[in-house]
Amino acid sequence: IECFGNLHVKNGLFFSHVKALGSVVVGTQNGHGRLHGGEIWAGKDLSARIVGSEAETQTAIYLGEDPYLREQIKALELSLKQQQNHLQELLKAMIYLRTQGGGDPEKLSTIQEERAALLPSIQLMDHQIQQAHENLKTSRFHCRLRVSQKVYPGVHLRLMQVPRFVHEELGPAEFYLEENDQGWEVRVSLS
Instruction: Tell whether the model's pLDDT for residue 136 goes beyond 80.
Output: no
107-123 burial code (b ≥16 CB/10 A, e <16): ebeebeeeeeeeeeeee
What is the pLDDT confidence band of residue 108, given thresholds at 50, 70 and 90? confident
Amino acid 27: pLDDT? 94
3 Rama class: left (phi>0) / alpha (psi -120 to 50) / beta: beta
Instruction: Tell whether the model's pLDDT for residue 25 goes beyond 70.
Output: yes
Whole-angstrom Cα Rg for the chain? 24
Amino acid 144: pLDDT? 92
The average confidence (pLDDT) of the chain is 91
By residue count, the chain amounts to 191
CA atoms of 157 and 175, how far apart (whole Å): 9
75 versus 108: the higher-pLDDT residue is: 75
Q: Which residues contact 48 (CB under 8 A, 6 or more apart)?
A: 25, 26, 27, 33, 34, 35, 146, 147, 148
3, 43, 57, 96, 129 from 175: Cα distances, Å: 23, 15, 19, 57, 30
What is the pLDDT confidence band of residue 105, given thresholds at 50, 70 and 90? confident
**8 A C-beta contact, residue 174 and residue 146:** yes
CA atoms of 27 and 35, how far apart (whole Å): 9
CA angle at residue 86 from 83 to 88, to 5 degrees? 115
Find the mean pLDDT for residues 29-36: 94
Instruction: Tell whether the model's pLDDT for residue 137 goes beyond 80.
Output: no
CA atoms of 171 and 175, how far apart (whole Å): 12
- 38: enclosing H helix or E strand: strand 34-42
Instruction: Tell whether the model's pLDDT for residue 103 goes beyond 80.
Output: no
What is the pLDDT confidence band of residue 62, given thresholds at 50, 70 and 90? very high
Report H helices in the chain. Answer: 67-99, 105-139
